[in-house]
Amino acid sequence: MAKNVVYWLTKYKVFYILTWMVASFIIMLINYNPRTPWIPQWWGHMIILGTAVPVCYYTAYKLTPRYLYTRKIGAFISYLLLLAFLNAVVTFLFALYIYQLVTGIPVFGSVLRTVSLFFETVLIDISLIAISCIIKIIIDRYFMEQQILEIEKEKVTSELNFLRSQVNPHFLFNVMNTIYFQIDKANTDARLTVEKFSEMLRYQLYECNTDKIPIQKELHYIKNYVAIQTLRVERDSDINLSIEGEMEDFSIAPLLILPIVENAFKHISNFKEAGKNKIQITIRKQDNEILIIDTINTYDQATGQKHLMQTGGLGIQNLQRRLELLYPGKHDLSINKEENIFQTVLKLQYND
């Protein structure tokens, strides 16, 4: 309930509206003129402070994440002071004149009074911008803690499910080694398949128990998966995995790419002419900060819809849930179906 209230207040900027009104009222009390009704004075101060709203919003939502959260403190303070000064100029030239019209209270006087009023406006703008940033930090902190709690719950659930279904890995690997050596040495395809499957299993059991995994290991797993799945489809099907460019050493959440690739094989067409059954998997980088996984597969409308209803798309649903928890605001997952073509594209910002 409390989370929903905070979300509603944040969504409709109620925090900022209330802060703006309260701050206007406080400043009005400080500068209160008993010879003028207080309501026009409050309206006048809200107009003056209203000129700071765009600057406060920009600083809180743009500069704070870009500079303060990345510990570029000097740049953040410099931009804050510059914006406060520029906004004070705008306030001084326009808002104070409107205030004078609304309240009937003369604002401009001697040179000393004018200069003093200008620097007072600068200090007020700095204070308002700082308060906006503090509110933004508090809100972000709250939602971050809620997100951490959800991730922990998800992790515990996943671990429990894994423990329930876990097979003794040593026994499993021993059986696979036995099968490997029982296969005739001339049957290289079968031996290679068992070897790749063993590597995949070892990766899932021993290396995927961390929050992040090196991209090279994840891609090696995908290569093995595609190689094994290619053996299961028609021999002449057009299956292609393309990894474009060099993938430098960065890490992503384990098994994040698999559901997309798995989905392509799950829904590939089953045309009689095997060459018409196609899967194109492209993995590439964009601007050294975004990883793009693009899969295209042919889709048989006659039989594919029934299969889609049976599977329910749980793999993609789980992927969407993981992305929301692990990469909030840093991913874009799109799924398109046109005639006999399925396309799934994931854009993931891996470099903060």
SS (H, E, C) the chain: CHHHHHHHHHHCCHHHHHHHHHHHHHHHHHCCCCCCCHHHHHHHHHHHHHCCHHHHHHHHHHHHHHHHCCCCHHHHHHHHHHHHHHHHHHHHHHHHHHHHHHHCCCCCCCHHHHHHHHHHHHHHHHHHHHHHHHHHHHHHHHHHHHHHHHHHHHHHHHHHHHHHHCCCHHHHHHHHHHHHHHCCCCCHHHHHHHHHHHHHHHHHHHHCCCCCEEHHHHHHHHHHHHHHHHHHCCCCCEEEEEECCCCCCCEECCCCCHHHHHHHHHCCCCCCCHHHCEEEEEEEEECCCEEEEEEEEECCHHHHHHHHHHHCCHHHHHHHHHHHHHCCCCEEEEEEEECCEEEEEEEEECCC
Residue 309's pLDDT is 40
Residue 308's pLDDT is 46
Q: What are phi and psi of 245, to 5 degrees?
A: 75, 175
Identify whether the C-beta of residue 144 lies closer than 8 Å to the C-beta of residue 69.
no
Dihedral angle over CA of 62, 66, 72, 75, nearest 10? -40
Identify whether the C-beta of residue 293 lies closer than 8 Å to the C-beta of residue 283.
yes
pTM for this predicted structure: 0.55
Residue 293's pLDDT is 95
Dihedral angle over CA of 322, 324, 329, 332, nearest 10? 70
Within the chain, all domains assigned CATH 3.30.565.10 are found at 236-349
Residue 351's pLDDT is 66
Residue 352's pLDDT is 52
Q: Residue 192 is encoded by which pair of tokens?
A: 């290679």
Residue 286's pLDDT is 87
Identify whether the C-beta of residue 271 lies closer than 8 Å to the C-beta of residue 236.
no
Residue 314's pLDDT is 64
Q: Token pair 């057009």 is at which residue?
A: 238
CA distance 76 to 280: 45
In the chain, the N- to C-terminal Cα span, in Å, equals 32
Residue 282's pLDDT is 95
Q: Token pair 């409308």 is at which residue?
A: 301
Query: Which CATH code fits 236-349?
Result: 3.30.565.10
Dihedral angle over CA of 137, 17, 130, 54, nearest 10? 110
Identify whether the C-beta of residue 344 lies closer than 8 Å to the C-beta of residue 297.
no
Q: Residue 282 is encoded by which pair of tokens?
A: 């492209």
- Which stretches in the chain have pLDDT values below 50? 1-3, 12, 164, 167, 306-312
Residue 297's pLDDT is 93
Angle at 221 between CA 259 and CA 200, to 5 degrees: 100
